Amino acid sequence: MKPPPFEYHAPRDLGEALDVLAGAGARGKVLAGGQSLIPIMNMRLASPEHLVDINRLHELDTVEETAGGVRVGALARHSRVERLRAHPLLGQALRLVAHPVIRNRGTVVGSLVHADPAAELPAVLAVLDGSVRLATAGGTRDVAARDFFTGPLESAVQAGELAVSAYFPNTRPRSGTAFREVARRHGDYALAGVCAVVTLDEDLRVERARVACIGVGAVPVVVDVPCERRPAATVGWDEAVRAVREATDPEGDIHASAAYRRHLVGVLAEQALKEAARAAV
Amino acid sequence: MTTRLFGEPVQRREDPRLLTGQGRYLDDLGQGAAAAAFVRSPHAHARIRDIDVSAALDVDGLIAIYTWEDLPARVGQPLPLLIPHPALTHGRTALPLAKDVVRHVGEPVVMVVATDRYLAEDACALIEVDYEQLKPVVGIEEAVQGAQLVHEDVPGNVGAHLVQEVPSTTGTSAREAIEGAPHTLAFRLDIERSASMPLEGRGVYARWDGTDLRVYSSTQTSTSVRMAIAAALNLPLPHVEVIAPDVGGGFGVKIVHPWAEEILVPWAAMLLGREIKWTEDRREHFISSAHERGQVQHVRVGFDDDGVIKGLDVTILHDHGAYTPYGIIVPIVTSTQLLGPYKIGAYRVEFTAVYTNTVQVTPYRGAGRPQAVFCMERTMDKIARHLGKDRTRVRAANFIGPDEFPYDQGMIFQDGRPLIYDSGNYPEMLRMVKELVGWDDFEPAPNRGIGVGCYVEGTGVGPYEGGHVQVTSDGRVHVSTGLTSQGQGHETVFAQIAATELGVPIERVSVVTGDTRRFGYAVGTFASRAAVMSGNAIALACRKVREKALRIAADALEANPDDLEIDDGLVHVAGAPAASIPLSTVAVLANPLRYAFDEEAAKATQFSGAASPDKPPVAEGEEPGLEGRDYYSPIRSTFAAGMHAAIVETDPLTAEIKVLRYAVVHDCGRLINPMIVEGQIHGGVAQGIGGALYERMVYDGHGQLLNASFMDFLMPYATEVPHVETAHLETPSPLNPLGIKGAGEAGVIPVSAVIAAAIEDAEGFAIDRMPISPSELFDLRTASRPAQGTAQGTAQEVSRRPEPPER
């Protein structure tokens, strides 16, 4: 379990990094936290010829809180974002990501680019309609979450592009959030998980409810669930559960059957929606 | 006595070293050594047509590439079949490097040596092996069909077949007894594969200086590895040294030897004249070491209205993987230990060990017992359920009584000796575990269940171990024994024994294990035998030293040796502490010297006047020095026992399984160190929880192991292991001087049985296959309520179950 030979690049600033990436093209890979990439390389499942280490790009080690949301730079570690009070859902999600030592190294943007279908952060980006900013030497483009995740472990990042930041919009006023998942062991990737955002109207009745589900499709499955415009505590979520189960198409694997995952995503959707509705009040 | 340490919870002396990163494991050694890596088969079953190494020859740093063709005859032979048995009619072992056919994914085919491991792996990746794929045999059912063969010359894939019959006291056979019993049940049980999975994998590091070969191996038996290497490489034994350094866990897999790498790495080191090291990586450990568990059991049982078993007939299909280097120890242990603490009217057990194109099966902590206990305890629970009786009452009705020891089960155990239990008190143990878990007060509630499981474990198997104890002139006590340590706490417990026997402070005692330079005769560390075997040998060696010390001190003090005591390192006349002589001085007097190289030595030289001029300096029958060596060789195993109980809660919606309470009552005879025994139990329970709820080896139909990493092989974390409550019962063994029994494997043995029982109690349907995951529990719920379909389930989904009349 040693990686095959690769050329190691340690650019000092963004411009240099983008130049190196442009030169490497499809043969290049970006190293940020390395919590997924390094094991994959050690198992020789990935063998990039050029490894572009962005850990010296301090300009990307940023977390900007704005009126509309939070922009997380490509070097911001999970542990830093986890403690961000401004965005409770990010904290709720990050506490489910692996273990503290991994969160001290792993980056939020790295998790998004890795695009594991059972990972929490893609669901957060998706449920919030966030976006990822991609840069080349020629300029930048923002890709919306719904376009960013293109398949299991596949994202819209093109060869030569660097994901420099991700934008997580704030929830609307009178919104509550929750993240529920079932993993086989503490910190493992979820068998299924649901993050929910429930928004109330001025009379504290449920106005809008939305979930993003993980582990039950190739990419996070976002469902705007049907809900009755009633006070949060009195809303029944049966319809929502049915809609979630219909919208998801889980596959079975060595850890759980498809039938179990479909069952589970409904259970978790109801729990997450109830919790989010309570938090919204 | 201040130095009485036996039985005290002495802090582990190895922990400061091991817990602060000061341990020296295999890969910490030989930093300048060349590295070996292996090309391993990617196919479960294939014929090797051609091996093309040409592309690898350009790799910088490449030193050598070896295939089977390169091996001399002695090295290229099949690896030894370590434990032959008459029933193992078709034993097969692997070649160190595959010659014609590979029989599991991971089998070594080519060995590469390079200046470092990265380069060695680069070269491996460039070697092209042309395979003709053969149809693999995966799983017990496919093996039994025998349509495809793992070994062409093993018909039906059957390596071993053994029937053992113990008729009733009146001569009735088990099958007759079952037919004649008032009640009978028949059912099938399944246990999946798991593996030892030590955190440190295997590893070998060899140095050859032109005359002497020194090999470090992460092994559970350095003495036997030494002899195997000497034989394979045709070296005189005195020129081979094998050392087990700090070993990061063994759990059985490292008792297998010699591994191919243990022969190939020293062979290449001699051939190339340079140090070579091979450190197994995790993927290698998954696909090329050894697994265990893996049985299908068909059970028939006949019993009376009280649940007393009249006859038990068990047919076991045992998946042995591709090879049988460790013989059929695992199914033999299952067959014999299945009887547990019970008197079974008449017993018949038949096992068939079949080959499959998967990693070989050798003992893993528990070594066949978890399967056995699962079988017997599931049987007890089914009898209780059938009769509507309390499950503990049915067990008690079958117990061997406290006054029935020694109790002969009428079988032959894994050591080839009669299965005779030496001592125990099972009714008291059951009373204790019921009290500890609160069995009688347990309130039935939906999705909550309680379970219990009992076992007996034959520990401390022979043939022998030895101990050497030397007191040097600085008063230090040096203890060595040949068997190895993998973190169990031997440095502490053996020091406790020596300190107690010799009356010295434990700080003055040091312990060395697993180093053939210090002690050449040993068997190894397995079968919960180290404390029993080496512990007693060290105690006996200490007694020899003590006797000699008292004899010499008696001369010096002009006293009778029978009146002397040793306390805090001082030999003194009982009741007269002023008349004393330090043990260090005794050591000086024990070794007459010519040269006064230091102050202490000066006291023992020829002109010191210490000895009579009319007698030889070393008296007839004496040896110089204050040291002793002795061996302990028991007539047969000593039988420890335990009972576990658990309360579990199953989530009505997510089917997650949570262990709320876990209680253990354990009897390993006299306790040397209760803290270390509890640590062993905790670790065992943790592995048992892994086997019950998390771990399995998932092979697909092609024989590919789908979860060969710690991401997908779910070893439980601390967060998954429940708090373990323990209580001890001490029924000393009459078989050894210290009255002790083994404790190493105990914790793991009944866990699958106990958790299955508790889940069954919570859910109301049978749990006959372990491990069980939430997904599988969900599937069982679905199957038990076919009318409701699969997509049901929100808050109203609470499992129902028929209430048994009694718990």
Nearest CA in chain A to B779: A260
Chain A nearest CA to B694, separation (Å): 8
Question: Rounded CA gap, B636 and B418, in Å?
Answer: 8
Counting as low any pLDDT under 50, the low residues of chain B are 1-2, 788-805, 807
Question: Which runs of consecutive H residues, i.e. helices, occur in chain A?
Answer: 14-24, 37-42, 78-82, 88-94, 100-103, 108-114, 120-127, 145-148, 238-247, 258-280
Query: What's the CA gap between B11 and B632, in Å, rounded?
Result: 26
Q: Kindly determine whether residue B774 and residue A4, on different chains, have CB atoms separated by under 8 Å.
A: no
Q: Do B790 and A259 touch (CB under 8 A)?
A: yes
CA B578 to chain centre: 49
Tell me: do A70 and A38 sit in the same domain: no
What are residue B183's phi and psi, to 5 degrees?
-130, 145
* Residue B786, pLDDT score: 65
Question: Are B712 and A255 inside 8 Å of each other by CB?
Answer: yes
Say how far apart CA A154 and CA A116 lie, in whole Å: 8
Q: Closest approach of chain B CAs to the CA of A257, in angstroms?
A: 6
Within 8 A by CB and 6+ apart from A191, the residues are A118, A181, A182, A183, A184, A215, A255, A256, A260, A261, A264, B774, B775
Helix, strand or coil for residue B600? helix
The alpha-carbon radius of gyration of chain B (Å, integer) is: 29
The verdict on A67 and A41 lying in the same domain is: no
Last residue of a domain, one of A145, A169, A193: A169
Q: Are residues A127 and A189 in the same domain?
A: no
**CB contact (8 A) between residue A241 and residue B714:** no
- The chain A residue lying nearest B285, using CA atoms, is A1
The single-letter DSSP state of residue B157 is: G
Name the residue of chain B whose CA is nearest to A257's CA.
Answer: B775
Nearest to A182 among B720, B774, B782 (CB): B774
Convert the pLDDT of each residue in A85-135 to its tens digit.
878 999 999 999 999 999 999 999 999 999 999 999 999 999 999 999 999
A&B contacts, CB < 8 Å: 86
- Does residue A222 sit in the same domain as residue A129? no
Q: How far is CA A258 from CA A119, A129, B262, in A?
A: 18, 27, 44
Structural domain count of chain A: 3
Q: Are residues A42 and A91 in the same domain?
A: no
Q: Tell me whether residue A137 is in a domain.
A: yes
Q: Hey, what are A281's tokens?
A: 């009040």
CB contact under 8 A, A266 and B122: no
- Count CA atoms within 13 Å of residue B768 on its CB side: 13
Residues A47 and A118 in one domain: no
- A53 — phi, psi (to 5°)? -85, 115
Give the domains, in start order, of chain B with CATH numbers.
32-134+197-288 (3.90.1170.50), 292-462+635-786 (3.30.365.10), 463-590+625-632 (3.30.365.10)
- The nearest CA of chain B is from the CA of A10 a distance in Å of 21
Question: Residue A1 domain-assigned?
Answer: no
Q: Note whether A220 and A270 are same-domain residues.
A: yes
Q: Give the closest-approach CA distance of A14 to chain B in angstroms.
A: 31
Q: What is the CATH number of the domain that holds A17?
A: 3.30.43.10
Q: B794, B796, B797, B798: best mutation site toward chain A, by most A Cβ within 10 Å?
A: B794
Domain assignment present for A154: yes
* pLDDT tens sequence across A133-142: 999 999 999 9
| Residue B802 confidence (pLDDT) | 42
| A254 contacts B712? CB cut-off 8 A | yes
Q: Can you give the residue range of the structural domain that contains A123? A: 58-169
Chain B residues with CB-CB distance to A188 below 8 A: 714
B717 touches A: beta carbon within 8 Å:
yes
Residues of A in contact with B112 (CB under 8 A): none
Of A4, A245, A257, the CB nearest to B775: A257
Q: Give the residue on A whose Cα is nearest the Cα of B118.
A: A2
The pLDDT of residue B805 is: 46
Do A62 and A164 belong to one domain?
Answer: yes
Residues of B with Cβ-Cβ distance to A264 under 8 angstroms:
654, 778
Contact call for B790 and A245, based on CB within 8 A = no
Same domain, A101 and A160: yes
Q: Does B283 touch chain A (CB under 8 A)?
A: yes
Secondary structure element (H or E) that encloses residue B175, with its range: helix B174-179
| Chain B residues lying within 8 Å of A180, measured CB to CB | none
pTM across the whole model: 0.95
Nearest Cα residue in chain A from B282? A1
- Same-domain check for residues A192 and A165: no
Q: Is the CB of residue A26 less than 8 Å from the CB of residue A159?
A: yes
Note whether B176 and B263 are within 8 A (CB): no
Residue A155 shares a structural domain with residue A223:
no
Closest chain A residue by Cα to residue B716: A185
Q: Output the 3-class SS for B287-299.
A: HHCCEEEEEEEEE
pLDDT for B792 equals 41
- Count the helices and strands in chain B (H runs, E runs): 18, 29
What are the tens digits of pLDDT across the range B273-308? 999 999 999 999 999 999 999 999 999 999 999 999
Cβ contact, residue pair B778, A257, below 8 Å: yes
pLDDT on residue B610: 60
Q: State the smallest CA–CA distance between residue B745 and chain A in angstroms.
A: 24
Q: Which 638-667 residues of chain B touch chain A by CB within 8 A?
A: 653-656
**Hey, CA dihedral for B232, B237, B239, B244, is it positive or negative?**
positive
The residue of chain B with its CA nearest to that of A266 is B794
Q: What share of chain B is helix, strand, coil (3-state, %, to 5)?
A: 30, 25, 45
**A234 and A154, same domain (yes or no):** no
Q: Is residue A44 included in any domain, yes or no? A: yes
Q: What distance in Å separates the CA atoms of residue B93 and residue B73, rounded to the nearest whole number?
A: 16
Closest CA to B245 of B514, B607, B522: B514
Q: Do B778 and A263 touch (CB under 8 A)?
A: yes
* Residue A2 counted as domain residue: no
- Those of residues 749-788 in B touching chain A at CB distance below 8 A are 773-775, 778-779, 782
Question: How close A274 gets to chain B, by Cα (Å)?
Answer: 12
Structure tokens at B462: 């022979």
Give residue for tokens 């949301």: A69
The token pair that represents B441 in the structure block: 């007060």
Q: Specify the CATH number for the domain of residue A65.
A: 3.30.465.10
